[in-house]
Structure 1
């Protein structure tokens, strides 16, 4: 599509959109727990101004400033990054073979078309030709092979890699990742622009596994996988190379991150000249948005719910409100890793040490009844969210609220359950001892950066202590240090607060809750859960969505009874942007859609 035609098309779409409110879309298959909400927009501009703006059409140039309240940890290699703050950069710098639309269906991106073989064990994709990396080198099928081969490397996990969910089903993964095989069979380049994914067994959702961002072979081929995380090519502005619409060119670490447009972007040169990310305190974000010093606030948590009505009154700001693709949780540490396993980077469930303070699932259930989740939603979210009972996004067809236990706030029930289990206040100090009469203190940790989480921590502490549970609420840690300790399983952790932004490709929860999943910070080891998650992906039965929904209903029951975590709430996404920004077409899970088509109406 040439640039002139594309501009005309954008103009027509823009004219059509001016008379309508954006609507948050859910998957057509949603039945349980899904909500559809109107996007909130301020419409106090005059019609005359809108007509002038529409007539002008997309303009070249200009800079946007985005804000996030916590600094990226500094890992900008897609196969190694961990945090949403790093994803804010990578969303603009790296592309995947396929993307998704508003109905969560897979659509072409770097791959323009594809087909599967008859028994669903192979997926062959035809790639776009002429795609350029940021340094001018050409993107080919070898880059795809290299990306997946790197994530299957024997040193990948020990180097800190956590994206094994994308490679586990691939043909020969086990042999290659263990070092038993020298060649990788899972992804093969047929020619420069054709790549085939081979699976060990028939795969019900092959495009999901092909949806990971691609890294450049010519940049990393001489860097051992074990050394990739510390390489400049994974960390330094100017050395990060992707195929995305913007290049990561400069940074003042923990303060500012600058992206400049990729002139040779394969979908057309972006209209914007640059995007600047600033790290600012959440408490001042709203003021900066009003003054125009910040143009947009989106992932990971958007504008604070307490500021919604204030921002809604700003004449220069649009708000997008829709159900979040994620949740906040109170995690229970079931087990801890050994020091040896932490040092070697191994995830060996047979070596895990049980956390006796939380070993009984009924204790975890009692704790859950002592937490006022609805109160958190009303008091902290100002009603802009909902308690949820399952770690599957409400937008997915697999979410089944009825299958999970609803831990409504019931401190009396929490107390009676603990009484029956022998956790009673034997010495009259107001706190319960364990059944052996020993002091029972639960350490609780949480990170800084997210005001809602910071405010939740002392409220949860107070609620648990009202039920006689002695909580040692420790000083919060900066997110990078917090995640490191959480990953390494400091052996005195019991309770932790965390939030997850979920993937939109499939409801499969194994990436977070499988026994050996790196993100399984609770170190949950439940054979029934493991069996059900595998069953839900097993062909041929799993080709039927109704079958998978039934299996996932069973799994949600197991999760909510064994409780690796208490799901606190899913807050509404509250994304806000300055009206000078045009061309925003949000998806259910992101505002960063087709950023090469974003433009500002005051560009010089």
Structure 2
């Protein structure tokens, strides 16, 4: 059965969104800058040399930087319990791991200055830096490392909202300790104050990634029950959050401003800056604030909107860096829902899940993928600053294999055919399909506020789907904190959801997002073959050969693409904009917030 095409309507919607961007830009005093010729004629050599003298003197001590993000952090400032990238904008400056990564994603010393790994890759012993102190002056020791990993291995951690178990599940004795069978934690041992050994149940191909997790202080949380850590003052309150990083979280005007003050006794050298201030501002006014100097940088998680790229690039006092995003945006399918009892207890038990009748049909999911013109979204909303992807692995990783996937190019005729095959047809000639039982079929689409590009995508996606006869209930967007809470506690009627993932850079292993019992598997995808392939890709000794892992991850990406728990919409390029007075910027492939103790300002 044929359905009316709404291509014109979609195009109009895109044009209206772009017009809205231009109007917002004008309202924010972000009109195109004046031609540069007058500046060129007013730059005698003597002035140039005079102006460049401060930069020639090298880094300067002091000063405050102001950054902007479009959504307020949810408020959980604890590495073992936070969930959002906005909270990471605080934690990136306050907490650290034993090892860090370089531009090639190789691991380098951080809180640990050196390490040795035994021959069969089941143990790693790390020597910690001497003289490291927490923000409150207490010494950092191996006991803090043991406590951190013991906490994320503890019974009740997941039920309390913890989602970082992937760093601990391979540790020796994890299952016995996590289940409460024993009080003895074998996996991490403090040999002395500055030496710690991690022991794994089997040879571990991701051994350095697993020891890279940010450390929290034992002297603060050691006597706190795991269930109470998320609500503890040292998790929630500025001035009480304690890390070893170059900056301390000192002040907060909730949902408006977050202040980081330098940790003068930072072990890696006193930071140059006095403070870094995060302001929460709407994307529509960010550009104006950057232009007039009220903010100094726009970076993670969303960066400069693609629509503003040329305007920002033309600003004399603003530098711009563009790089491929280490993540992607998706439209997920709620394939299953948890029971009320599991939500209340915090359990993630796939055996108890209740299928979402329509979204659990593979043909429906594939039809929706064919119905969406993702390239049009990249071309018209991202202005080409991004790419369509079909594999849920960061493009920078060696494991990424687009060739293993189904492309799902825009094909509404194919979408219509698949929906017909699934038995969803228009039985009453109202232009919309009914279920195979003849019932009215309405699919709800849910999305959060904050990211204007994602907000603009939602109605466009709805129109693409309605063009093939799927009636969409485009729900009012929710503020991100409330949205994630409802997305997590998914004993609701949700069908489709929009979200973006900033991926971990330690290893391409996708199990943290897509394994059946992973906390971030919000669609509750339950595919035993998928789980097995992810396990096989980590199995020693074969997994120590990268070619073997490449093969397994290619198979997995093909399976993902066929079963399709989510439509990967696009990978948006990260566009960072910062005032030229900010020096020392050296973004990693996965983050702008790299070595902030080396950032400095030239006035």
Give the TM-score of the pair, scaled to structure 1.
0.92
> SS at the partner of 1:417?
helix
CA distance in 1, matches of 2:184, 2:577: 48
Distance in 2 (alpha carbons) for counterparts of 1:530 and 1:544 = 20
Partner of 2:510: 509
Question: Is the aligned partner of 1:472 residue 2:484?
Answer: no
Counterpart residue number, 1:375:
376
Tell me the equivalent position of 2:501.
500
1:364 lines up with 2:372 in the alignment: no
Counterparts of 2:171 and 2:425, CA distance in 1: 52
Look up the match of 1:218: 219
> Is 1:232 matched up with 2:233?
yes
- Tell me the secondary structure at the aligned position of residue 530 of structure 1: helix
Distance of 2:206 and 2:519 partners within structure 1? 22
Q: Measure, in 2, the Cα distance between the counterparts of 1:480 and 1:49.
A: 49
Moved more, 288-297 or 433-442: 433-442
1:123 is aligned to 2:139: no
Query: How far did 1:490 drift?
Result: 3.6
Say if 2:588 is the partner of 1:587.
yes
2:483 is aligned to 482
Say yes or no: does 1:283 pair with 2:284.
yes
Determine whether 1:206 maps to 2:210: no
Tell me the alpha carbon deviations over residues 521-570 of structure 1, each in whole angstroms, 9 at most, x when there is no partner. Answer: 00000010000000000000000001000000000000011111010000
Q: CA deviation at 1:491?
A: 2.3
Task: Give the equivalent residue in structure 2 for 1:4.
Answer: none
Unaligned runs of 5+ in 1: 1-41
Q: How far did 1:51 drift?
A: 4.1
Equivalent residue number for residue 448 of structure 1: 449
Asked if structure 1 preserves the Cα contact closer than 8 Å seen for 2:339 and 2:491, the reply is no
Distance 1:509 1:49, change over 3 A: farther
CA distance in 2, matches of 1:519, 1:567: 15
Q: 1 CA distance for matches of 2:321 and 2:596?
A: 16
SS in 2 for 1:422: coil
Structure 1 residues 299-448: aligned runs within 5 Å: 299-448=300-449
Give the match's secondary structure for 1:570: strand
Deviation at 1:155, TM superposition (A): 1.4
Matches of 1:69 and 1:449, distance apart in 2: 6
1:49 CA drift (Å): 6.1
Provide TM-score, normalisation by structure 2.
0.92
Instruction: Show CA shifts across 1:551-600 (max 9, x none).
Output: 00000000011111010000100011100001111111111111111100
After superposition, give the CA deviation of every residue in 1:257-291 in whole Å (9 maximum; x if it has no partner): 00000010001110000000000001100000001
2:142–2:194: 8 Å Cα contact kept in structure 1? yes
Is 1:110 equivalent to 2:76 in the alignment? no
Structure 1 distance, partners of 2:600, 2:429, is: 66
C-alpha separation in 2, matches of 1:496 and 1:597: 39
How many residue pairs align between the two structures?
561
CA distance in 2, matches of 1:360, 1:155: 34
Distance 2:487 2:52 in 1: 53
Mapped pair 1:294 → 2:324 = no
State the distance in 1 between where 2:490 and 2:102 align.
38
Structure 1 residue 194: Cα displacement = 0.6
Q: Output the CA distance in 2 between the equivalents of 1:138 and 1:531.
A: 43
Aligned to 1:154: 155
- Give the 3-state SS of the residue equivalent to 1:358 in structure 2: coil
Q: Describe the superposition over 1:324-371 as per-residue Cα deviations: whole angstroms up to 9, x where unpaired.
A: 000000000110000000000000110000011122211100011001
| Distance in 2, Cα, partners of 1:372 & 1:196 | 51
Using the alignment, how far apart are the partners of 2:421 and 2:70 within structure 1? 44
Mapped partners of 1:475, 1:159: distance in 2: 29
* Counterpart mapping for 1:56-75 below 5 A: 56-75=57-76
Distance 1:49 1:288 in 2: 28
Show CA shifts across 1:209-237 (max 9, x none).
Answer: 00100000001112111100001010000
In 2, Cα distance between equivalents of 1:269 and 1:564: 47
2:55–2:602 contact (8 Å) kept in structure 1 = no
Could you tell me whether the CA contact under 8 Å between 2:151 and 2:157 is conserved in 1? yes
Aligned equivalents of 1:152, 1:70: Cα separation in 2? 31
| Structure 1 residues 154 and 520, CA gap change in structure 2 (3 angstroms) | same
Name the SS of the counterpart of 2:235 in structure 1: helix
- Verify the 8 A CA contact 2:369 2:408 in the aligned structure 1: yes
Query: 1:156-188 deviations in whole A, cap 9, x for unaligned?
Result: 111110101110100111110110011111111
Residue 266 of structure 1: aligned partner: 267
Residues of 2 paired with 1:451 and 1:400: CA distance?
30
Task: Look up the match of 1:255.
Answer: 256
Secondary structure of 1:356's counterpart equals coil
Partner Cα separation in structure 2 for residue 358 and residue 293 of structure 1 = 46
Aligned equivalents of 2:168, 2:499: Cα separation in 1: 26
Tell me how far apart the structure 1 counterparts of residues 488 and 516 of structure 2 sit (CA, whole Å): 14
Aligned residue runs from structure 1 range 555-594, under 5 A: 555-594=556-595
Give the match for residue 28 of structure 2: none
Give, in whole Å, the separation in 1 of the partners of 2:510 and 2:49: 49
Q: Distance in 1 between matches of 2:411 and 2:491?
A: 31
Cα distance in 2 for partners of 1:448, 1:353 equals: 28
Shift of 1:421: 2.0
Task: Tell me, yes or no, if the aligned pair for 2:336 and 2:354 is still in contact at 8 Å.
Answer: yes
Q: 8 Å contact 2:96–2:245 — kept in the other structure?
A: yes
